[in-house]
Structure 1
C-alpha cells in the first residue's frame, strides 16, 4: 500500500503487516530527504515534495535522546499506548480525543478535535493507529496513523466532533541505539482542510512538528518517575 492523506473506509483497512511494511519503507526513505532547519538544538527537520500518489508534501523530524532524558520504556509507554489520549496532554491545540473503535490489540480508530486561535475554525482528524513493538535488542517501537473516513458507518461517525475535517498520515519510530540513546523519528503528510492557503501550512510544518519534541519531554518529566 501507499501511505497518503487519502482516507480509508474501515471496511478497507489493510493488514498490520501491509501497513507496517509501508511505514518502514517511508521511514527508510526519509533519511535521504532534503535537510531543513534544526530546532530546539536537537530536532533536525527534513522535507520531500509531493509525489504522484501523495495528497500533500512530506515532512520529518529526527531527535536523539540520552537515557537520562528519557528511556525507551518511558517513551514507548506514552507514545505506543493510548497515544491520542497522551497527545492531548502535551499538544496544546488538542482539546478532545475519542476512541471510536478498538479493532484489535494493535489497531484503534481515534478522532482528535483541535482548536486554534480565530479566525481558524476547529479541526477534526480521524485516524487509524497501528502499533508494533519489537523487544529484541535493539528495541524498536513503531506507530502508524492513517486517515479514516467513517461515513460508511453512521454509528461510528456520530462519535466525531463537529469541525472542518482535516487529514494526516504519520509514521513514528522509537529506536534504541547501541549506546543506549534513543532515536525518535517521525514522518508526516497532512492537510488541515478548509481554505487555509497551502503555502502557509507548508511553511510552518517544520517548526510545528519540531515543537512536539520539547512539549512531550516537558510533559514526560512532569510525571512520576518510572524506569
Structure 2
C-alpha cells in the first residue's frame, strides 16, 4: 500500500490549531484510512466478535514505522440500531466516552469550531503506576449515506496548543503527561437492520512508556471498548424506557 495522501492524519502527530486542514479534508483523510484498513494485516478476534488488524505506514511487511490498529464488528438490532450507535458515538462523543471507558476521568470542551468540529481535552488515569495522561483532539463528524445506507464518520486528530496565540485554550487542558492519538470512527448501516462498527487508531501515551509496548497492547485495548459501549448503550436505553 502506498503512503496515504493525507499524511497529516496518518502520521498521528499533533497539529497546531493554525494549521488545521478543512473539515472536508479531515473527513476525506479519515475515509481514506477506513478504505485502507480493509487490507491491513489481520490480527486476532477478541471479545468473541471483534476482529482486529494492524498496519505500519512506510513498511512493506507491516513491521516498521508508526503502527495503526483497527477493530471492526457487526451488531444486530437487538444490540443497537444505527441511531443508537450514532447517538452514542457521533453526538457528545467525549462526554459519552467518559461514561463507559473507566480510564477517562475528565473531559472538557476547549473550543467549538463549527457544529461539526470541536476541540476536546480528555484526562486519563491509565493505571496506578503511570502518571495521568492528557489527550487534546479535534473531533470532526459527518453523517451521510453510502448506497442508500446511512453512515457516520468521526475523525479525531491530535492538537498542539503550545503556540502563543493558543495560550488561553491551553490553560483549559488538565495537568498531566501529554499523549496523543488519532482515530477514525465509522458507523455503517447494513441490511437487516445490522450495524458495522469500525475504528482505526494510532496512539502514543507519552512519557517513558516504550512505543512498542503501547503498540502491542493497542488491539486488545480498543477491543474492550466494544462490550463496554454496548453495555452502557443498552443500560441507557433501559433507563429511558423505564422513565416513560
Of stretches 120-129 and 190-199 in structure 1, the one that deviates more from structure 2 is 190-199
Is 1:110 aligned to residue 120 of structure 2? Answer: yes
CA RMSD of aligned residues (A): 1.7
Q: 1:139 aligns with which of 146, 150, 155?
A: 150
Contact 1:6 1:55 in 2 (8 A): no
- Secondary structure at the counterpart of residue 230 of structure 2: helix
CA deviation after TM superposition for structure 1 residue 180, in Å: 1.8
Pairing partner for 1:200 from 213, 222, 227: 213
Residue 50 of structure 1: how far off its partner (Å) = 3.8
Q: State the Cα deviation string for residues 148-186 of structure 1 (Å, max 9, x = none).
A: 011121000000001000010000100001222100000
Distance 1:55 1:103 in 2: 32
Measure the CA separation in 1 of the matches of 2:27 and 2:150: 16
Q: Flag as ranges the 4+ runs of structure 1 deviating above 4 A.
A: none
**Partners of 1:195 and 1:56 in 2: CA distance:** 17
Task: Check whether the contact 2:52–2:72 (CA below 8 A) recurs between aligned residues.
Answer: yes
Q: Is the 8 A contact 2:56 2:65 kept in 1?
A: no
Give the corresponding residue for 1:39.
46
The answer to whether the 8 Å contact 2:52/2:71 transfers is: yes
Task: Name stretches of at least 5 consecutive residues in structure 2 with no aligned partner.
Answer: 1-5
- Whether 1:89 and 2:99 are equivalent positions in the alignment is yes
Tell me what 2:3 maps to.
none
Distance 2:160 2:210 in 1: 23
Moved more, 128-137 or 164-173: 128-137
Which residue does the alignment assign to 2:182?
169
Alpha-carbon separation, structure 1, partners of 2:99 and 2:203? 21
- Aligned counterpart in structure 1 of residue 24 of structure 2, from 17, 29, 36: 17
Post-superposition shift, 1:56?
A: 2.3
Q: What is the deviation of 1:10?
A: 1.1
When residues 36 and 75 of structure 1 are mapped into structure 2, their CA distance, relative to the original with a 3 A threshold, is: same
1:40 deviation in Å? 1.4
Q: Give the equivalent residue in structure 1 for 2:204.
A: 191
Structure 1 length-normalised TM:
0.95
Q: CA deviation at 1:200?
A: 1.6
SS at 1:139 equivalent: strand
Q: Does the CA contact (< 8 Å) of 1:51 and 1:57 recur in 2?
A: no
CA contact (8 A) 1:56 1:191 kept: no
Question: Do structure 1's residue 49 and structure 2's residue 56 form an aligned pair?
Answer: yes
TM-score by length of 2: 0.89
Aligned length, in residue pairs: 226
Q: CA deviation at 1:118?
A: 2.5
5+ residue gaps, structure 1, are none
